[in-house]
Structure formats: C-alpha cells, structure tokens
C-alpha cells in the first residue's frame, strides 16, 4: 500500500500555499510563517532566516540551508499583495505543510 516515497516534494514547492495573517492591535497585520525550515532540519528563529516580500509572494529562507546549498531552502507563500507590518513564527497554521515534512 505505502510506496515509501513522496515524489511530489522533490524540491519544487509551488507557491500555492497562502500566507496566513493575524490582525494585531490597531488593525495592523502580522504575517505568520512556520518556525520550521522547509527541509525540516532547522528552527528558523534559532539558525537564522530571511523574509522577502516580492509582489504577491512571500519567501522565508533558511539561512543554514542556503549556506549548505540545499535546493529547498525557502518557503514560498502567496500573499495576494497583502502587506504585513512584521512577521511572527507559528507552526500551527501550517500543520498540513509540516506534516508532509515529517513524512519524509
């Protein structure tokens, strides 16, 4: 039944996932990003990260994976042009994505 491999996760992560936002005091939006890196190896708050907002895409890259030259070093989320005042880390809204990591 189980094939033992998931071919859909081989380095091409489509920007299909929507960025999650939280509204904080005064109506400001904070973008919520996973604390776990896309390879499931690092905790971004501990190892370093970068958040880029370009057009309708938000990228969160793991500095460790970038330095190691790993292909899948960045999360990519669709923002639909929404702007965030700042970012905060929370794995919970991305439980589905992170479950896929755990299976690898």
Residues that bind Zn ion (CB under 5 A): 37, 39, 41-42, 62, 64-65
Tokens found for residue 86: 């700042």
Question: In angstroms, what is the minimal distance from the CB of 48 to Zn ion?
Answer: 9
Cα–Cα distance for residue pair 79/60, rounded to 1 Å: 12
Nearer to Zn ion, 22 or 103 (CB): 103
Question: In angstroms, what is the minimal distance from the CB of 83 to Zn ion?
Answer: 26
Nearer to Zn ion, 63 or 82 (CB): 63
Tokens found for residue 95: 């439980």
Nearer to Zn ion, 78 or 101 (CB): 101
Q: Which residues of 37-76 are buried (b: 16+ CB within 10 A; e: fewer)?
A: bbbeebebeeeebeeebeeeebbbbbebbeeeebebbbbb
Question: In angstroms, what is the minimal distance from the CB of 93 to Zn ion?
Answer: 19
């Amino acid at each position: 039944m189980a094939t033992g491999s998931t071919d859909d996760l081989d380095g091409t992560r489509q920007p299909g996932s929507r960025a999650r936002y939280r509204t904080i005091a005064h109506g400001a939006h904070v973008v919520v990003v996973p604390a776990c890196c896309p390879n499931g190896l690092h905790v971004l708050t501990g190892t370093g990260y970068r958040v880029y907002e370009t057009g309708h895409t938000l990228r969160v890259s793991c500095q460790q994976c970038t330095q190691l030259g790993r292909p899948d070093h960045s999360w990519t989320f669709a923002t639909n042009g929404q702007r965030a005042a700042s970012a905060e880390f929370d794995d919970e809204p991305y439980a589905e994505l992170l479950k896929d990591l755990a299976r690898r």
